[in-house]
Structure 1
Amino acid sequence: MAASTGIALLGAGIFAKEAHLPALAVLGDVAPPLRAVYSRSEKSAHDLAAAAAVALKLSESPSVYHDTGGDASSNLDALLARPDITAVIVVLPITLQPSIVLKALAAGKHVISEKPVAPDVKQGLDLIYTYNQQYKPKGLVWRVAENFEAEPGYRKAGEIVRSGKIGEVKFFKAVVVNHIDKDSKWYKSPWRTIPDYQGGFLLDGGVHTIAALRVMLPHPLTHLSGFASLAKDYLAPHDTIHAIVKAADHFHGTAEFTWASPTKARPQADGFVITGTDGWVAVNMEWAPTPRVIVKVRSLVKVEGKSDEEHEEVLELPSSGVAAELGSFFGTIGGKDDGLGLGDPLKALGDVAFIQAALNSDGQLVDLNKLLQEG
């Protein structure tokens, strides 16, 4: 990277500290230098700068910007006016992100913003339209940071499915079971405690699962019928979804999400099973002792003159989605697009459309393509 380039991290929450800073550390010189951090709160901005100095082994902490006190020299506009910052990573509450993405693009910065791309499909379509009309023609890059889409384990599972090893896909299931109590660090984030966006944790976390399905399944999902409910009042507006889904005439499946498990011990494993005519692929994220994706493949192998034999293969791939998505973004703004297509805002909006459809279906069939086109 040229000496004049640099990045800023906008947002000082849990994911910025626990995911983005470690990912930048892993990337090393692949990432431009972190020159500034921003948070609405002065204290949280200073805390993030201190954490960044430690994580990235900086000799000098990044500059601190915030909205406290009304000092124009230390606010977000001042940060975005800096010519030595060419790109920003936006890790802010869901409803704030669209406006900050546009502000950064208007300032001439490349942007990678955390998922979901927008609180709902309509806002997402408006945001994408504005980017395509005003900023993409100027050569500015905007990507959506969806780390499940970039996870090597999910991408490997997708390669296996598309290779034909399990034959033609016929059905699938996706299961997410989470326990969130009031002591959870994720619940204690003020913007999650009283969410001003649809779905609560179902939107914030559910898009991950849909992104993983998008990477692994050989055809896009087209229709959905589902029900949403609330089991725990403090997780309003909804905490549970059950949906039946299909991909045109290719295959169908089920999606079950809840953040309302009554116990920390889960009655079943999270994960995915994709079943074809010649076998299946099961994919699970394991968190201990280190995060990794386990891919198990059970397939039929034809043996001449004998019955088909079953062959099993198990792969373990370390979790590195955040580093992968950031590395891809930095490569693109540096003129080296890896061709993986990570972070496409319209694809990320498709993930939002799935959750929105499941929240509003109430058993009626929803055309996902129509929703994505019309909002």
Structure 2
Amino acid sequence: MASIALLGAGIFAREEHLPAIEAAPTLSLKAVYSRSRSSAEALASASRSPSTVAIYFDSPAIPGKSLDDLLQRTDIAAVDVVLPILQQPDVIRKALQAGKHVLSEKPVAGDVKGARELIAWYGGLQLQQGGRPLWGVAENWRYMESLRYAGEKVKEIGGELVTFSLSKYGSIAVGNKYLETAWRKTPSHQGGFLLDGGVHFVAGLRYLLAAAGDELVQVSGYSTLLDPKLVPVDTVHAAATTKGGRSGTVAISFGTAHKNETELEIVMTKGVVGWNPTEARIRTGTGEEEKKAFAYSSGVVAEVAAFAKAIEEGKLKALQSPEEALGDLLVLQGLLESGAGGAAVTAVGL
């Protein structure tokens, strides 16, 4: 049984990571941290056993209650970091230096430069007590049952990749719980919702392309702001090319009020796989068709369970590696940079 602390008391921490930690049979929640005392107390109160969860915070400043104090606890083996994007890297470094295993929310960092620096720093980390703690990046879409099923079907169909498409349209209404988060409403990170939310869709596309034996290497597209409250941009349309020389399309929009869809499609020489979070559709070259429905699941329970298993085994799976998360960020930042440059061809390969 590994003792873990949850760092962050925002929406995703409360609604997804807290229950996922409590669902993992080999994890024991020992502490929570948030910047403010009130939010840390609220998070602890939402746990199954509030009396056993220690509370840490930085405001107000009280001796023995800071994040640094939490990280000094020798009885806590791991932390789950679910903080605003630009706060994450410093906390990840602190936790790893303290010898804690770390699961950190996507994206791996606010930009590619910061991500590369953080990964390089981790690669050279040497602790006095020997060994190196595990660091995994949480991209829950890679643990969605429906996406994994679609990936297996791409492999089963076989053949070579012909083309692909990602189509995500939707809108963020006034009063949306995520929009009402201060750091999202007035973002300091690049891309606004396109980085925070769009990286999921990029991860899904990369997952299915990997199942087809290929990967993205360059993009060329246009970006715009359709909804003024979703600064700095909320929409990107692009052409994309793979290492194998195949081309496809990427459309991600959070500012499209009257169109709401999420659709990924992988076209192979021997068939087609279509996917959305609650359905996979398969059509083979023989004309056979299959549809499989799924109850919606965010995948967070499965990803936290995978991290718990990694702690137990002492080895992290590639799906949670910082390098895999860097691949997502490279594509997303490439889309933003290409859009800002008027469809400039932008390299996005690892």
TM over 0.5: yes
Q: Distance in 1 between matches of 2:14 and 2:150?
A: 29
1:100 equivalenced with 2:78 (yes/no)? no
Q: Is the 8 A contact 1:149 1:211 kept in 2?
A: yes
**CA distance in 2 between partners of 1:201 and 1:25 (Å):** 29
Equivalent runs, 1:335-346 vs 2, <5 Å: 335=313, 337=315, 340-346=317-323
Matched, 1:126 2:122: no
Structure 1 residue 156 corresponds to structure 2 residue 141? no
Q: Is residue 152–residue 320 contact of structure 1 (8 Å, CA) maintained in 2?
A: no
Q: CA deviation at 1:278?
A: 2.6
Aligned twin of 1:348: 325
Aligned pair 1:357/2:334, yes or no?
A: yes
* Residue matched to 2:5: 8
The residue type paired with residue 282 of structure 2 is V
Q: Deviation at 1:91? A: 0.2
Deviation at 1:366, TM superposition (A): 1.0
Query: 1:21-56 CA deviation, whole Å, 9 max, x = no partner?
Result: 2222332x23x2100000001111100000113xxx
Q: Distance in 2 between matches of 1:66 and 1:135?
A: 28
Q: CA deviation at 1:187?
A: 0.1
Q: Secondary structure at the match of 2:319?
A: coil
Cα 1:230–1:59 change in 2 (3 A) is: closer
Structure 1 segment 85-96 matched on structure 2, within 5 A: 85-96=76-87
User: Is 1:82 paired with 2:73?
Assistant: yes
Of 63, 72, 75, 1:72 maps to 63
Query: Could you tell me whether the CA contact under 8 Å between 1:295 and 1:315 is conserved in 2?
Result: yes
In the other structure, the counterpart of 1:111 is 102
Cα-to-partner distance string for 1:130-167 (whole Å, 9 max, x where unaligned) = 0010159723100000001122221221121122x163
Counterpart position of 1:206: 198
Secondary structure class of the residue paired with 1:253: strand
Tell me the C-alpha RMSD between the 2 structures: 1.7
- Contact map agreement 2:142 2:148 (CA 8 A) in 1: yes
Shift of 1:315: 2.0
- Matches for 1:162-201 after TM superposition, within 5 Å: 162-163=155-156, 165=157, 167-201=159-193
Q: 1:278-308: per-residue Cα shift (whole Å, max 9, x none)? A: 32111011xxxxxxx311101122xxxxxxx
**What's the secondary structure of 1:96's corresponding residue?**
helix
**Conserved? CA contact 2:224–2:236, under 8 Å:** yes
CA shift at 1:336, angstroms?
A: 6.0
Name the amino acid aligned to 1:161: V
**Residues of 1 paired with 2:28 and 2:160: CA distance?**
46
Query: Which residue in 2 is equivalent to 1:305?
Result: none
Q: Distance in 1 between matches of 2:78 and 2:317?
A: 20
**Cα distance in 2 for residues equivalent to 1:230 and 1:236:** 7
Which residue of the partner structure matches residue 297 of structure 1? 282
SS in 2 for 1:123: helix
Contact 1:199 1:239 in 2 (8 A): yes
Secondary structure of the residue aligned to 1:160 is helix
Counterpart Cα distance in 2 of 1:198 and 1:236: 10
Equivalenced residues, count: 341
Confirm whether residue 139 of structure 1 aligns to residue 137 of structure 2.
Answer: no
CA contact (8 A) 1:8 1:38 kept: yes
Unpaired segments ≥5 residues, structure 1:
286-292, 302-309
Q: Is the Cα contact below 8 Å between 2:81 and 2:105 reproduced in 1?
A: yes
Q: Give 1:290's aligned residue.
A: none
Q: Which moved more, 1:167-176 or 1:125-134?
A: 167-176
State the distance in 2 between where 1:312 and 1:148 align.
25
- The answer to whether residue 271 in structure 2 is matched with residue 279 in structure 1 is yes
Q: CA deviation at 1:317?
A: 3.8
TM-score, normalised to structure 2's length?
A: 0.93
Task: Give, as a single letter, the amino acid of the residue that structure 1 aligns with 2:138.
Answer: A
CA deviation string 1:306-343 (max 9, x = no partner):
xxxx1111223442511111111111111265x74221
The 2-side partners of 1:130 and 1:341 are apart by: 19
